[in-house]
Amino acid sequence: MAITSAIANSFKQEILVGTHNFTASSGNTFKIALIKANASQSGTYNAGTTNYSVVTGNSDELANGSGYTTGGNTLVSVTPVLDSNTAVCDFANTSWSSATFTTRGCIIYNDSASGDPAVMVIDFGADYSVSGGTFEIQWPTNDNSNAILRIA
Protein backbone atom coordinates (compact mmCIF):
# COMPACT_ATOMS: atom_id res chain seq x y z
CA MET A 1 0.00 0.00 0.00
CA ALA A 2 1.24 3.45 -0.76
CA ILE A 3 0.55 7.11 -1.26
CA THR A 4 1.87 8.97 -4.29
CA SER A 5 1.52 12.76 -4.17
CA ALA A 6 -0.70 13.86 -7.04
CA ILE A 7 -3.52 16.11 -8.11
CA ALA A 8 -6.54 13.87 -8.62
CA ASN A 9 -7.27 13.19 -12.29
CA SER A 10 -10.98 13.62 -11.58
CA PHE A 11 -10.25 17.11 -10.15
CA LYS A 12 -8.77 18.20 -13.49
CA GLN A 13 -12.08 17.52 -15.23
CA GLU A 14 -14.18 18.83 -12.33
CA ILE A 15 -12.58 22.29 -12.42
CA LEU A 16 -13.70 22.63 -16.04
CA VAL A 17 -17.34 22.03 -15.10
CA GLY A 18 -17.28 24.29 -12.05
CA THR A 19 -17.32 21.69 -9.27
CA HIS A 20 -14.65 23.48 -7.22
CA ASN A 21 -14.55 27.10 -6.06
CA PHE A 22 -11.52 28.12 -4.00
CA THR A 23 -12.58 31.76 -3.47
CA ALA A 24 -11.74 32.55 0.15
CA SER A 25 -14.92 34.31 1.24
CA SER A 26 -17.57 32.65 -0.89
CA GLY A 27 -16.14 29.39 -2.19
CA ASN A 28 -16.50 25.74 -1.24
CA THR A 29 -15.38 24.15 2.03
CA PHE A 30 -12.19 22.14 1.59
CA LYS A 31 -11.00 19.67 4.19
CA ILE A 32 -7.82 17.76 4.87
CA ALA A 33 -8.03 14.23 6.26
CA LEU A 34 -4.99 12.36 7.52
CA ILE A 35 -4.09 8.85 6.33
CA LYS A 36 -2.69 6.14 8.60
CA ALA A 37 0.96 5.13 8.83
CA ASN A 38 2.30 3.31 5.79
CA ALA A 39 2.32 -0.18 7.36
CA SER A 40 -1.31 0.23 8.51
CA GLN A 41 -2.78 1.22 5.12
CA SER A 42 -4.84 -1.16 3.03
CA GLY A 43 -5.40 1.11 0.01
CA THR A 44 -3.32 2.87 -2.60
CA TYR A 45 -3.72 6.62 -3.08
CA ASN A 46 -2.56 8.56 -6.14
CA ALA A 47 -3.90 10.54 -9.12
CA GLY A 48 -6.65 7.93 -9.47
CA THR A 49 -8.12 8.73 -6.05
CA THR A 50 -11.52 10.24 -6.81
CA ASN A 51 -13.03 11.13 -3.42
CA TYR A 52 -12.75 11.08 0.34
CA SER A 53 -14.81 7.87 0.65
CA VAL A 54 -11.97 5.95 -1.06
CA VAL A 55 -9.89 6.57 2.08
CA THR A 56 -12.71 5.85 4.53
CA GLY A 57 -13.84 2.81 2.53
CA ASN A 58 -10.40 1.28 3.03
CA SER A 59 -10.46 2.28 6.74
CA ASP A 60 -7.25 4.23 6.12
CA GLU A 61 -8.19 7.54 7.74
CA LEU A 62 -6.83 8.07 11.24
CA ALA A 63 -9.32 6.99 13.91
CA ASN A 64 -11.44 9.55 15.73
CA GLY A 65 -9.81 10.57 19.02
CA SER A 66 -6.32 11.28 20.33
CA GLY A 67 -6.52 14.83 18.99
CA TYR A 68 -7.92 13.88 15.58
CA THR A 69 -11.51 14.13 14.37
CA THR A 70 -12.54 11.98 11.42
CA GLY A 71 -13.25 14.05 8.34
CA GLY A 72 -10.18 16.13 9.12
CA ASN A 73 -9.70 19.85 9.49
CA THR A 74 -11.43 22.53 7.47
CA LEU A 75 -8.87 24.40 5.40
CA VAL A 76 -8.86 28.18 5.19
CA SER A 77 -8.45 28.96 1.50
CA VAL A 78 -6.60 31.90 0.04
CA THR A 79 -8.29 33.08 -3.16
CA PRO A 80 -6.31 31.76 -6.15
CA VAL A 81 -4.16 34.20 -8.12
CA LEU A 82 -1.92 34.15 -11.15
CA ASP A 83 1.83 34.11 -10.57
CA SER A 84 3.39 34.65 -14.00
CA ASN A 85 1.41 32.19 -16.16
CA THR A 86 0.54 29.79 -13.34
CA ALA A 87 -2.65 29.77 -11.28
CA VAL A 88 -1.78 29.14 -7.64
CA CYS A 89 -3.87 28.31 -4.59
CA ASP A 90 -2.82 28.32 -0.97
CA PHE A 91 -4.30 27.46 2.40
CA ALA A 92 -3.57 28.68 5.91
CA ASN A 93 -1.42 26.24 7.88
CA THR A 94 -3.50 23.74 9.81
CA SER A 95 -2.83 21.80 13.00
CA TRP A 96 -4.13 19.24 15.47
CA SER A 97 -3.40 19.94 19.15
CA SER A 98 -3.12 17.50 22.07
CA ALA A 99 -2.51 14.90 19.38
CA THR A 100 -1.11 11.39 19.64
CA PHE A 101 -0.99 9.59 16.29
CA THR A 102 1.17 8.53 13.36
CA THR A 103 0.33 9.57 9.80
CA ARG A 104 1.91 9.09 6.38
CA GLY A 105 -0.10 11.49 4.24
CA CYS A 106 -3.39 13.19 3.57
CA ILE A 107 -6.22 13.82 1.15
CA ILE A 108 -7.59 17.26 0.40
CA TYR A 109 -11.22 17.12 -0.67
CA ASN A 110 -14.19 19.36 -1.38
CA ASP A 111 -16.65 18.89 1.48
CA SER A 112 -19.23 21.17 -0.20
CA ALA A 113 -19.56 19.19 -3.42
CA SER A 114 -21.64 16.04 -3.79
CA GLY A 115 -19.57 12.93 -3.10
CA ASP A 116 -16.69 14.80 -1.41
CA PRO A 117 -14.48 14.83 -4.53
CA ALA A 118 -10.71 14.65 -4.12
CA VAL A 119 -8.49 17.57 -5.00
CA MET A 120 -5.19 15.83 -4.25
CA VAL A 121 -3.37 13.30 -2.14
CA ILE A 122 -0.06 14.09 -0.48
CA ASP A 123 2.62 11.67 0.68
CA PHE A 124 4.60 13.14 3.57
CA GLY A 125 7.60 11.04 2.47
CA ALA A 126 7.75 9.14 5.76
CA ASP A 127 5.56 8.28 8.72
CA TYR A 128 5.32 11.21 11.15
CA SER A 129 4.33 10.77 14.78
CA VAL A 130 3.20 13.14 17.48
CA SER A 131 2.70 12.23 21.13
CA GLY A 132 0.66 14.63 23.26
CA GLY A 133 1.66 17.62 21.14
CA THR A 134 0.71 19.62 18.09
CA PHE A 135 0.89 18.21 14.57
CA GLU A 136 1.03 21.05 12.04
CA ILE A 137 0.99 21.11 8.27
CA GLN A 138 2.80 24.13 6.88
CA TRP A 139 2.12 24.87 3.23
CA PRO A 140 4.92 26.01 0.90
CA THR A 141 5.26 29.52 -0.52
CA ASN A 142 2.30 30.42 -2.71
CA ASP A 143 4.12 31.00 -6.00
CA ASN A 144 4.43 29.39 -9.42
CA SER A 145 7.28 27.10 -8.33
CA ASN A 146 6.14 26.03 -4.87
CA ALA A 147 2.39 26.41 -4.24
CA ILE A 148 0.71 23.23 -3.04
CA LEU A 149 -1.85 23.58 -5.84
CA ARG A 150 -0.76 25.12 -9.12
CA ILE A 151 -1.98 24.91 -12.68
CA ALA A 152 0.41 25.96 -15.41
Write down the pLDDT at residue 95: 98
In the Cβ-directed half-sphere of 47, how many Cα atoms lie within 13 Å? 5
Write down the pLDDT at residue 29: 97
The answer, yes or no, to whether residue 1 has pLDDT greater than 80, is no
- Cβ-based burial of 109 (10 A; exposed 0-12, middle 13-18, buried ≥19): buried
pLDDT digits (tens, 9 = 90+) for 100-124: 999 999 999 999 999 999 999 999 9
pLDDT digits (tens, 9 = 90+) for 28-81: 999 999 999 999 999 999 999 999 999 999 999 999 999 999 999 999 998 999
